[in-house]
Amino acid sequence: MPDTVSQKQGETLIPVKPEIAARAHVDAAKYRAMVEAEAADPEAFWAKQAERLTWITPPTRIKNVSFRGDVSIRWYEDGLLNASVQCLDRHLPARANQTAIIWEGDNPAESAHITYAELHERVCRLANAMESLGVKRGDRVTIYLPMIPEAAVAMLACARIGAIHSVVFGGFSPESLHGRIEDCSSTLLITADEGLRGGRHVPLKANADAALARCPTIRNVIVVRRTGREVPMQPGRDHWYHELCAAASPTHTPAAMGAEDPLFILYTSGSTGKPKGVLHTTGGYMVWASLTHQLVFDYHDGEIYWCTADVGWVTGHTYIVYGPLANGATTLMFEGVPNYPTVSRFWEVVDKHKVNIFYTAPTAIRALMREGEAPVKKTSRASLRILGSVGEPINPEAWLWYWRVVGEERCPVVDTWWQTETGGILISPLPGATALKPGSATLPLPGVKPVLVDANGVVLEGATEGNLCLVDSWPGQMRTVFGDHERFKQTYFSTYPGMYFTGDGARRDADGYYWITGRVDDVLNVSGHRMGTAEIESALVAHPKVAEAAVVGMPHDLKGQGIYCYVTLKTGVEPTEELRKELVAWVRKEIGPIATPDVIQWAPGLPKTRSGKIMRRILRKIAANETENLGDTSTLADPTVVEDLVANRAV
């Protein structure tokens, strides 16, 4: 072990580095002071945090929250502001010529620097163009774009006019795009001719056309020319982005939005039903995005910051666009993938743009770790100062590799736990304040109040393990499920009344450190992508040859979790290898490649209770090959079903 690492309670403990603490926004003493300040006078503490934004009318009503009854979450509710002004206009006096976005193309020969002045102008032009198409405050705009600067421009242009954006990940299928447009009745879609990832072309416009065949609410489509591939343009509906923007004015007066006016909807999977439209509003979200970006990454002026997520996920929203830009940072946006053209790509980009702060997902770290140290070591990485991880639990082995090989034991690793619903990071080390333990997300941010509860909702004290809840609100919390407040209450506040239930399990050690163990509901986390088993099941049963399906997660070395499907075919249908391939392709087509099943096992029957409920606990054990101890099977309607499934495990 290197001498910076000491052992405590059998766990590795890596102390805060004095040189990091010395210049950090928050050191250990400041962290404690912030926690105490919030506890002593929450109103004053949260009012002070809001001062980091530029308000048109500063808020006087700070917090107005109830986790009971109808559940109402309001922050800074009488304040007026515009999110795009936080990210653009207010920086212009000092930073007009500073790079706001560094764009690194899929092809290493392509990159661009966009200054704050240029980004401001592009956003103004698109905002004017959207208004000229009749888009108004409160309208929904769906964004289905690759990782190009226009994605950030589109989000900020919506924010500028008060339209609510709904970004749909470019890897989703026409069917998934259709569902997300229909649910929020968008009137405008912004897409591109094609995307480019790892040298492969993604037919975005073709996918959009397929989806739009059944989306009557969409009146206009704005198409960004990315690859130049010829795509059909429907007259009257489809418009070229570059033509609209060239004709539009380069200045625009931003809308004055209420703090609780919606900023965006982002669809995410739950344990039941179709994806939910998580709704975030303007004031609280912007406070949280900007505060957490500064504290967790210890962002200092002039630093180059790179989050490798896609803007189609919440990480891209908060930590590529809103957080960094609100802080006047230089944010890097990467179109490509970690292993194209080579597995050194991440580190080559770090060297090319002198990246100081690097934020990625455990699945990428594990995949690169498998390639050995040489592809990392041939690069310098001397610019790196802080490393971050997000999206799924990071195993200590991957954590230590990241720390030792990538960061050369120089860069603190911040393992950040949060969710689409939380808007921003809730549990994470702060580089200058928190001693690290590989595999632990460590401590809550100031003002964040996690608890662990048992199955009955009893709050557990001390070192323990349980279901992770939050007993009080923070400004970045989601406000509702778009169009379905009842579902919001049911999903998050009914399991343990009076608390927000995260759906995650966690352990807390004797130092109060949190170790997230993963989802305790029927949500899968495949390579950091969140997916409901119910969605994959409904895709499978939509196939004409499938009678019934049950989907569970299985342990997977690279992806964290893999997708294991039990499929019962209709009577008379032969289970063939060809059909297996057809079903895998079917799910990819219905949802998108991220939902590709890893295993399909033919199941003549599924284990059910006498009341007909599928016993997923048993299916999970079989998938994990833990068939020795299947637990209590006495409630099974037909025990032979399980024997058959065990005997015919697919892997």
User: Which one among 330, 416, 434, 533 touches ligand PRX, defined by CB under 6 A?
Assistant: 416
**Is 419 a residue that touches ligand PRX (CB under 6 A)?**
yes
Minimum Å distance from CB 177 to ligand PRX?
18
Given the structure tokens 């997923």, which residue do they identify? 616
Minimum Å distance from CB 293 to ligand PRX?
13
- CA 94 to mean position of chain CA atoms: 31
Minimum Å distance from CB 523 to ligand PRX?
7
Type of residue at 240: W
* Contact window for ligand PRX (CB under 6 A) among 111-119, 127-135, 514-522, 643-651: 514-522
| Cα distances (angstroms) measured from residue 541 to each of 251, 505, 545, 546 | 51, 30, 8, 5
User: Which one among 241, 418, 492, 564 touches ligand PRX, defined by CB under 6 A?
Assistant: 418
235 marked among binding-site residues: no
616 marked among binding-site residues: no
519 marked among binding-site residues: yes
Write the interaction track for ligand PRX spanning residues 470-509; mark x where CB under 6 A is met and - where it is not. Answer: --------------------------------xxx-----
Q: Is 298 left (phi over 0), alpha (psi -120 to 50) or beta?
A: left
User: Which pairs from 154-158 meet CB under 8 Å and 24+ separation?
Assistant: 154/126, 154/190, 155/264, 155/311, 155/317, 155/321, 156/83, 156/84, 156/87, 156/88, 156/119, 156/123, 156/321, 156/325, 157/84, 157/123, 157/124, 157/126, 157/127, 157/130, 158/130, 158/264
508 marked among binding-site residues: no
Length of the chain: 651
Minimum Å distance from CB 428 to ligand PRX?
8
392 marked among binding-site residues: yes
**Is 516 a residue that touches ligand PRX (CB under 6 A)?**
yes
As a whole number of Å, the CA-based R_g of the chain is 24
Q: Could you give the 3-state DSSP secondary structure of residue 32?
A: helix
The 10 Å CB-count burial string (b at 16+, else e) for 215-234 is beebebbbbbbbbeeebeee
DSSP letters spanning 209-273? HHHHTT-TT--EEEEE-SS-------TTTEEEHHHHHHHS-S--PPP-EETTSEEEEEEE--SSS
Nearer to ligand PRX, 417 or 513 (CB): 417
User: Which one among 87, 222, 279, 390 touches ligand PRX, defined by CB under 6 A?
Assistant: 390
**Is 323 a residue that touches ligand PRX (CB under 6 A)?**
no
348 marked among binding-site residues: no
Minimum Å distance from CB 181 to ligand PRX?
20
Q: Is 432 left (phi over 0), alpha (psi -120 to 50) or beta?
A: alpha
Nearer to ligand PRX, 290 or 525 (CB): 525
Closest CA to 225 of 311, 109, 145: 145
* Contact window for ligand PRX (CB under 6 A) among 235-243, 287-295, 390-398, 405-413: 390-398
* 554 DSSP assignment: E
Q: Are 74 and 59 a contacting pair, CB within 8 Å? A: no
Does the bond joining 341 to the residue before it have cis omega, within 30 degrees of 0? yes
| Cα distances (angstroms) measured from residue 350 to each of 354, 358, 384, 387, 416 | 5, 8, 8, 12, 21
Specify the DSSP element, H or E, that contains 517: strand 514-519
* Token digits of residue 27: 């050191």
199 marked among binding-site residues: yes
Q: Could you give the 3-state DSSP secondary structure of residue 343?
A: coil
DSSP letters spanning 272-324? SSSPEEEEEESHHHHHHHHHHHHHHTT--TT-EEEE-S-TTSHHHIIIIIIHH
**Is 415 a residue that touches ligand PRX (CB under 6 A)?**
yes
503 marked among binding-site residues: no
231 marked among binding-site residues: no
Looking at residues 293 to 322 of the shown chain, list those that interact with ligand PRX (rule: CB under 6 A): 313-315
Nearer to ligand PRX, 45 or 418 (CB): 418
Nearer to ligand PRX, 121 or 521 (CB): 521
Looking at residues 437 to 456 of the shown chain, list those that interact with ligand PRX (rule: CB under 6 A): 441
Minimum Å distance from CB 352 to ligand PRX?
26
553 marked among binding-site residues: no
Nearer to ligand PRX, 104 or 392 (CB): 392
User: Which one among 49, 525, 561, 601 touches ligand PRX, defined by CB under 6 A?
Assistant: 525
Q: Could you give the 3-state DSSP secondary structure of residue 34?
A: helix
Minimum Å distance from CB 594 to ligand PRX?
11
**Is 347 a residue that touches ligand PRX (CB under 6 A)?**
no
Nearer to ligand PRX, 123 or 361 (CB): 361
7 marked among binding-site residues: no
Nearest residue to ligand PRX by CB is 420
User: Which one among 391, 444, 475, 592 touches ligand PRX, defined by CB under 6 A?
Assistant: 391
User: Which one among 76, 322, 417, 488 touches ligand PRX, defined by CB under 6 A?
Assistant: 417
527 marked among binding-site residues: yes
Q: Could you give the 3-state DSSP secondary structure of residue 528?
A: coil
Minimum Å distance from CB 214 to ligand PRX?
27
DSSP letters spanning 439-504? T--BSBPTT--EEEE-TT-PEE-SSEEEEEEESS--TT---EETT-HHHHHHHHHSSSTTSEEEEE
The torsion angles phi and psi of 359, rounded to 5 degrees, stand at -130, 115
* Token digits of residue 324: 């960094």
**C-alpha span between 374 and 618 (Å, rounded):** 42
Nearer to ligand PRX, 63 or 529 (CB): 529
* Contact window for ligand PRX (CB under 6 A) among 28-36, 123-131, 281-289, 417-425: 417-425
* Contact window for ligand PRX (CB under 6 A) among 132-140, 177-185, 388-396, 471-479: 388-396
Minimum Å distance from CB 238 to ligand PRX?
31
Please tell me the count of residues contacting ligand PRX according to CB under 6 A.
23
Residue 614 burial (10 A CB sphere; 0-12, 13-18, 19+): middle
200 marked among binding-site residues: yes
Nearer to ligand PRX, 63 or 530 (CB): 530
**Is 140 a residue that touches ligand PRX (CB under 6 A)?**
no
Minimum Å distance from CB 405 to ligand PRX?
20
Minimum Å distance from CB 464 to ligand PRX?
18
Binding residues for Mg(2+) are: 541, 543, 546
Binding residues for CoA are: 197-200, 315, 339, 527, 588
Binding residues for ATP are: 391-393, 415-420, 504, 519, 530
Binding residues are: 197-200, 315, 339, 391-393, 415-420, 504, 519, 527, 530, 541, 543, 546, 588
Residues that bind ligand PRX (CB under 6 A): 268, 313-315, 390-393, 415-420, 441, 502-504, 516, 518-519, 525, 530
